[in-house]
Structure 1
Amino acid sequence: MSSFPWLTVTAALPAVGAIVTAALPAATNSRSRDRNKVVPLVFSVATLAIASIVTARFVPGGARFQMTENHSWISQFGISYSLGVDGIAVVLVLLTAVLVPFVMLASWHEADPITDDSGTFERNRRTQGFFALILAVEAMVVLSFEATDVFLFYVFFEAMLIPMYFLIGGFGDRTAGEDAKQRSYAAVKFLLYNLLGGLVMLAAVVGLYTITHTFDLVAITDALQNGTLHFSPVAENALFLGFMFAFAVKAPLWPLHTWLPNAMGEATPGVAVLITAVVDKVGTFAMLRFCLQLFPQASKTFAPTILVLAVISIIYGALLAVGQKDIKRLVAYASISHFGFIILGIFALTSQGQSGATLYMVNHGVSTAAWLLVAGFLMSRRGSRLISDYGGVQKVAPVLAGTFLVGGLAILSLPGLGPFVSEFLVLVGTFERYPALGIVATAGIVLAALYVLVLYQRTMTGPVKPGNEKVADLKARELVVVAPLIAMLLVLGIYPKPIADIVNPSVNTTLSQVGRTDPAPHVNVAITNTAGSTNSGGGQ
């Protein structure tokens, strides 16, 4: 157990920041609004500093969970405040801490009052409320990654829905009338879908406790490993499906995905990044930590079905992205396709697949943030989300167009950029055990190239369309957001070893708990001996 509560501090900083930000006096002018933005930004940067220390202190190949904290909470029911990070959790905590400051900088004016042409207020929003909600989401996501008590995880898994609901419904892109109804509809749909998933999970959590009499993840998994705890097949399958349903909604996995295009379409670009690059990662992370480790036999039983759904997500999401007219909805369907790849890697149950899936979570977070935030800068200048309203932007804003292209190339997994390594590992790991599904999934790469390059061609190339003549290039604040994200994509594409070294021991531990090993390669080699005869050698 760590002597200093590093993990608690990592989550407490954004939580305290949210309270302090919400308590700031209401802004009356642009100067006071900027003051109300600087305070949460400072808290997010401080959180990044602590998360970096946590990552530096983590010892790859060391104890399964490190920097652990354990305090009794509701002792009558065996509920404890238990935290700990493995290699998978620590990189996702760092990813969250890295992205939130960029989301805040990119969203600098997204909570400013909205006025019409006459200067009349259409929406007068509390600036500090917007940034306080972002910090609240960060705190709950970080605690979800750190929790090693199943009930504690459930609390924050559900609690993060409330600030996200207000970020979508209260601070979305739309302003008034029918548009506001669309924003409210998206927020309610997001909340109801995820609450339904959480309700099913709650029943499974209660069922787990009635069998094990504890919520301690480590105690349960250790008992499963040493044979002192056994689930009946029926009970294990039912509990697995209860957990998996909630995580598949959050992820999201087809056919439980329909809330995501609405939510991302109606949210501001920064909040859309928060949804898909941060919050949704809790779903795929939880599949690795809870579904596979608590229910190893059920995971193997349902893996083929889940893999089929993942492949459908890959192809379905990519096909719908190709046909979108709205930029943000295109990114949403692209994310559904990418989450299909992540889930494919998880349930292929190979070391390459799961390492690739974890790397994919990181790379998808960075690449989606880069692509969508640049798209947000473009949409804020033009005042439209429709692809048809753009054209020739590279002639008037070459830096904006160039960074948009790099973000898009990362999305389609161009070699040399981060997502390529992770997507390659996922496909290799899947092909080892399910070659047919691996082959079908590769179609998602072709479709990704189609929707990314067609979007770039329609928005950035050709003659300048009317209305785009005065589109300004990226400003200093916007370059501060985009440049580090692109640099990270390059580093992750060229040298992913530091993250892979942290992740791989945890992946191997997960596979051993599921009782899976990588399929042995079968190699036929023709060997010519000195006498000139040929021997065929085979290996398993």
Structure 2
Amino acid sequence: MNDTALQYVLAATVALPLLGAAGALLPAPPGLRGRSPDQAVLRHGVTVTGAVLILAIVLAAGFDHDHPARMQGTTDLSWIPALRIHLHLGVDGISLPLLVLTALLTFLCALYSYFHLPAGGSAKSFVALLLLLETGTLATFAVLDLMLFFLAFETVLIPMYFLIARWGGGDRERSALRFIVYTLLGSVVMLLGLLLIGIKAGTFDMVALATDNGSHLGHSTQLIAVLAIGLGLAVKAPMWPLHSWLPDAHTAAPTAGSVLLAGVLLKMGTYGLVRIVLPDTPDGIQTFAPYLAAFAVVGIVYGSLACLQLARQGNGGDLKRLIAYSSVGHMGFVLLGIASLNPTGVNGALFANIAHGLITGLLFFLVGAVKDRYGSSDLDQLAGRTGAALYGRAPRLGGLLAFAAVASLGLPGLAGFWGEMLAMFGSFDPAAGLSRPAYLTFTAVAAFGTLLTAGYLLTVVRRICMGDKDTAELTPALPDVRGYEFAAWTPLAALTVVAGLWPAALLGLTDPAVRSLLGGH
């Protein structure tokens, strides 16, 4: 596909969800109403997100895979000349997988919600917010102007706030408020850093800044910019100890909200570190990288220990909360890979980003299904005296939950393995100028975290999937995986296997782009 065609496809991919969100608020034409207005607007959501997914697949198919380091499908229009802000869009090997992942997860959430809309607000509002959330996320990964990046980054906050506050579970309003306060405060600090870079460098263009590689920014300027931007992105990542909003938000959020929060929104923070901080402020990140790595490995161990505590019998641990804490640990590997400042580690971080989106998205879908069937996601209530016995009562659901758990713990041959392994390889031999003894210590702590991860996930599988077979046979049968659930979950399970068996498909895209960013070419 030529670059002009790719340009139109990328622009349509970003703009279509916004138009769809506006269309969702309009009355449905008489011939498309179906059995009810709610059904019509939910069908509209599936149609629009499906069209966006098709556009994303066309974008991936038309992408020049021989030159993934080059920005392709670029649109560059002056928007606010006085501030030198441009409507600048483009895609390369780093952003393309995230765009496709966003389109896929949003479509699967829309499909799942068509059959299982959470109680709360109206269907119109739900679909409009879902599409607005998709617009902001896609734009975050596609824009190439620092100010547009900030605007897109902020766009996702309002729809996610209302998805939690209106359609969430217990304590949803407090959790939603905590989510938006944390992320807004982080964003204000990040904006100061972005403005500092743009004003000092004389441009907000992310491609020009990456090519310049910080040559027009003094060392002190880079230090301040890294600290400000890094804090804002670390809240969204989430990095310990700025993670405390995440467990509450996940526990309260509806299933679709949890899937998108874990699968896509967390990636915006780590993407910003790779796209902006690494190439634009190389001297500043060189200074702060050891501290970032230290916080990352603390997050890995902390998240795993919190999960072990929640998984223990008698502690009343919530399964959604446990998976939220597991995200703190898994994203710690992503941050560790970025902090290594070498191609191996950064490629591992980008791979782990995609793997986490697939696996944790699947886990939140499955936990939502378990909660619907049992009426609770409390581990003690689910396990009880005899165990939830999913293997006996709903074998396909139990099998999928076990599959997602072993994928999350990093079983070789599945997607979760490669990202974490490459992140540790990168940390084992960090970039020149970084203390190798310190990074060897970080690598050892991260490796210990993988053992803790296996411990809590296998404990969850034992307590939820196993149980007293004779007692389970006497209890009422549970509905196994329904047709719409199978349709929503199968792509995630299949891609987890494909990425695990064929990692070169993703690494072949990211590696040239990463080397270009780190080299400033």
Paired residues, number:
494
378, 381, 385: which is aligned to 2:373? Answer: 381
Secondary structure, aligned partner of 2:241: coil
Query: 1:409: which partner in 2?
Result: 406
What aligned pairs does 1:194-213 form with structure 2 within 5 A after superposition?
194-213=183-202
How far apart in 1 are the matches of 2:303 and 2:351?
20
In 1, are the aligned partners of 2:164 and 2:249 still within 8 Å (CA)?
Answer: yes
Secondary structure, aligned partner of 2:429: helix
* Deviations, residues 52-86 of structure 1 (Å, cap 9, x unaligned): 11112222352521111100000011001001112
* Deviations, residues 278-306 of structure 1 (Å, cap 9, x unaligned): 11101100000001111010011100000
How far apart in 2 are the matches of 1:101 and 1:170?
21
Query: 1:346: which partner in 2?
Result: 338
439, 445, 461: which is aligned to 2:444? Answer: 439
Structure (1/2) with the larger helix percentage: 2
Question: Does 1:482 pair with 2:489?
Answer: yes
Secondary structure, aligned partner of 1:80: strand
Query: 2:364: which partner in 1?
Result: 372
Identity, in percent, stands at 33
How far apart in 2 are the matches of 1:365 and 1:303?
24
Between structure 1 and structure 2, the one with the greater Rg is 1
Unmatched 5+ stretches in structure 1: 114-122, 175-181, 515-540
497, 504, 510: which is aligned to 1:497? Answer: 504
Secondary structure, aligned partner of 1:462: coil
* Deviations, residues 308-357 of structure 1 (Å, cap 9, x unaligned): 00000100011101112100000000001000000111111122111111
In 2, are the aligned partners of 1:169 and 1:183 still within 8 Å (CA)?
Answer: yes
Secondary structure, aligned partner of 2:239: coil
How much does 1:466 deviate? 11
In 2, are the aligned partners of 1:41 and 1:101 still within 8 Å (CA)?
Answer: yes
What aligned pairs does 1:307-346 form with structure 2 within 5 A after superposition?
307-324=293-310, 325-346=317-338
150, 159, 166: which is aligned to 2:162? Answer: 166
How far apart in 2 are the matches of 1:418 and 1:282?
20
Query: 2:125: which partner in 1?
Result: 129
Question: Does 1:358 pair with 2:350?
Answer: yes
Question: Does 1:238 pair with 2:240?
Answer: no
What code does the residue aligned with 1:399 have? Answer: R
Query: 1:522: which partner in 2?
Result: none
Query: 1:21: which partner in 2?
Result: 24
What code does the residue aligned with 2:403 have? Answer: V
Question: Does 1:90 pair with 2:96?
Answer: yes
How far apart in 1 are the matches of 2:55 and 2:80?
28
How much does 1:208 deviate? 2.1
How far apart in 1 are the matches of 2:357 and 2:344?
20
* Deviations, residues 60-116 of structure 1 (Å, cap 9, x unaligned): 352521111100000011001001112110111011111111122233355354xxx
In 2, are the aligned partners of 1:24 and 1:128 still within 8 Å (CA)?
Answer: no
Question: Does 1:428 pair with 2:433?
Answer: no
How much does 1:155 deviate? 0.6
State the TM-score, normalizing by the size of structure 1.
0.88
What aligned pairs does 1:206-285 form with structure 2 within 5 A after superposition?
206-224=195-213, 227=215, 229=216, 231-285=217-271
Question: Does 1:513 pair with 2:520?
Answer: yes
Secondary structure, aligned partner of 1:332: helix
Secondary structure, aligned partner of 1:81: strand
444, 448, 458: which is aligned to 1:453? Answer: 458
144, 148, 158: which is aligned to 1:148? Answer: 144
In 2, are the aligned partners of 1:169 and 1:187 still within 8 Å (CA)?
Answer: yes
Secondary structure, aligned partner of 1:280: helix
Question: Does 1:469 pair with 2:476?
Answer: yes
What code does the residue aligned with 2:236 have? Answer: K
Question: Does 1:12 pair with 2:15?
Answer: yes
What aligned pairs does 1:84-123 form with structure 2 within 5 A after superposition?
84-113=90-119, 123=120
